[in-house]
Amino acid sequence: MRAIVVDRWMEPKELTVSEVPEPSAGPGQLVLDVCAAGCNFFDILMVQGQYQVKPPFPFTPGAEVAGIVKEVGPGVEGFSVGDSVFASSGLGAFAERAVVPARGTYAIPEGMTFEEAAGLPIVYPTSYAGLVFRANLQPGENLLVHAAAGGVGIAAVQIGKALGARVLATAGGADKLEVARQAGADVLIDYRKEDFVARVKEETGGKGADVIYDSVGGDIFDQSLKCIAWNGRLLVIGFASGRIPEVKLNRVLLKNIAIVGLHWGAHVANEPEKIGQTFDALFDLYSAGKIPPVVFKSYPLAELPSALEALGSRRTYGKVVITP
């Protein structure tokens, strides 16, 4: 079968399609015919060897997958050949077929396409768990979402709005701000043209944002500390800027704020009960029409380098998807 194979650390532009053996399902596993696979910023870091997870060579990247069950492994119940499902695969999604853990696989909700489903397994639970379990977002609070047109950003805007928050969104350019507006943002801030700190203070009557959703890090994190409200919660999701920020704790003390992190992938080992709760809530929100997945573009497998380049250069919004 055809798959993207990483046999050394490389740049995304060097990725090519190779022929590899057909996979088989072990105990607790499923083999899927891949219909769509979601791209994430960490895919770029992983193939470069800059991500915290460094798989042994050779490996096939890709952690979000949607497809049709081809094989059911020993001990697996609740799935049959031919089922339409999506899963968080960890690795292996950028291929014609992928092995996934059955415990991390779900039936695709009625009305959702494979491309939309491929954008669900990581970004939506990340945003839900962050806003609900870690930041305890409440109805009526002001939620500031940075990079609001990106994958996790759109999910945060949609979920925050569904939870009853007033959503302030930052993004670069009118097109991306329009994406954030369609996702439910109440206040649109173009960080390229205006000081988001001043604008957040203005829009909140000087109070600041109760919850700040930061997947960017770097300077954005530093500036966010200047517009967070008393008792505010700054939610650390990632560091797309490339710089991991540091903070002087006197700022945390003086404003009575909390800086909280969210590592969704670690819930499997530490709080597995939260995973089912999260997906049940997400399915309810999808059924209610409150979190429609947003797909920027689908690329064929051989064009994965172009897909990751577009994602890394921030020319995209929502999810970038590969369709083998």
- Considering the domain architecture, whether residues 220 and 249 belong to the same structural domain is answered as yes
Domain containing residue 228: CATH number: 3.40.50.720
Separation CA 238–CA 257 (nearest Å): 19
Contacts of 178 (CB under 8 A, 6+ apart): none
Per-residue DSSP letter, 117: H
- Considering the domain architecture, whether residues 162 and 238 belong to the same structural domain is answered as yes
Residue type, 209: A
Residue of 34, 92, 11, 2 lying closest to 308 (CA atoms): 11
Q: Is 76 helix (H, G, I), strand (E, B) or coil?
A: coil
Q: What range defines the domain where residue 157 resides?
A: 123-265
Domain end residue (candidates: 265, 283, 301): 265
Please report whether residue 274 resides in a domain. no
Phi first, then psi, for residue 194 (nearest 5°) are -145, 160
Domain end residue (candidates: 265, 281, 310): 265
Tens digits of pLDDT across the chain (324 residues): 999 999 999 999 999 999 999 999 999 999 999 999 999 999 999 999 998 889 999 999 999 999 999 999 999 999 999 999 999 999 999 999 999 999 999 999 999 999 999 999 999 999 999 999 999 999 999 999 999 999 999 999 999 999 999 999 999 999 999 999 999 999 999 999 999 999 999 999 999 999 999 999 999 999 999 999 999 999 999 988 889 999 999 989 999 999 999 999 899 889 999 999 999 999 999 999 999 999 999 999 999 999 999 999 889 999 999 999
- Considering the domain architecture, whether residues 229 and 249 belong to the same structural domain is answered as yes
- Considering the domain architecture, whether residues 103 and 44 belong to the same structural domain is answered as yes
- Considering the domain architecture, whether residues 11 and 43 belong to the same structural domain is answered as yes
